[in-house]
Amino acid sequence: MTSISRLRADHAEALLVFERENRAYFAASIPDRGDGYFAEFAERHRALLADQDAGLHHFHVVEDGDGGVLGRVNLFEVRDGSAELGYRMAEKAAGRGLATWAVRQICVLAVREYGLTSLRAETTLDNAGSRAVLARTGFEPVEDVMFGDRPGRRYVLDLSGGCSQAL
């Protein structure tokens, strides 16, 4: 059964496998993380957990029933009741509604567990799948931006009334 868990130290190995297996797939729609990301993965994972423990970010993994990672959904730059949403799903899980389901679950956690009242997100204009996920979960486009070196769009989701618009 598919589930979402808060990032833990014991996710490191499965998360690294996920990132390696999907590197080329992700690089087709977002800037590549570079070789350094993989070479320093263990150190970066520990740093992410420390930042999460400090309340700066909330990291999550989407897991299959066997402990494999199907995706990541993160809330970062948490401040003043708001956070930036970021997500990525494995190529093998694409097109099945998993990202929409995961974002909806994170919207619930954002309100109930983290006390957030709004979320922000950005995606490239050529990432139709990500734009569709944001639209299905209630995010509203607010402005065009550059996403790395590619044209993109910024979105917001008001959670002050709960997360019903995401569901």
For residue 44, pLDDT beyond 90: yes
150: amino acid identity, one letter: R
Between the CA of residue 52 and those of 15, 47, 75, what are the distances in Å?
A: 16, 9, 10
Taking Cα atoms as reference points, which of 82, 79, 22, 29 lies closest to residue 55? 79
CA distance 2 to 48: 23
More reliable by pLDDT, 149 or 73: 73
Q: In the chain, how many domains are there?
A: 1
For residue 154, the enclosing domain spans: 3-166
For residue 36, pLDDT beyond 90: no
pLDDT mean over 26-51: 89
For tokens 């150190």, what's the residue? Answer: 43
Task: Count other Cβ atoms within 10 Å, centred on residue 125.
Answer: 13
Residues facing 143 on adjacent strands? 154
Rounded to two decimals, the pTM is 0.91
CA distance 131 to 123: 7
pLDDT in tens, 124-144: 998 899 999 999 999 999 999
For residue 93, pLDDT beyond 70: yes
Question: Dihedral, CA atoms, 163, 165, 166, 167, nearest 10 degrees?
Answer: 90
Any idea what the CATH number is for the domain that residue 146 is in? 3.40.630.30
Q: Are 89 and 70 in contact (CB under 8 A)?
A: yes
pLDDT in tens, 54-87: 999 999 999 998 889 999 999 999 999 999 999 9
CA distance 43 to 88: 21
Where do the H-state alpha helices sit in the chain? 12-21, 23-27, 35-39, 41-53, 98-112, 128-136
The lowest-confidence range among 66-70, 76-80, 99-103, 107-111 is: 66-70
Q: Are 155 and 134 in contact (CB under 8 A)?
A: yes
How high is the mean pLDDT of the chain? 92
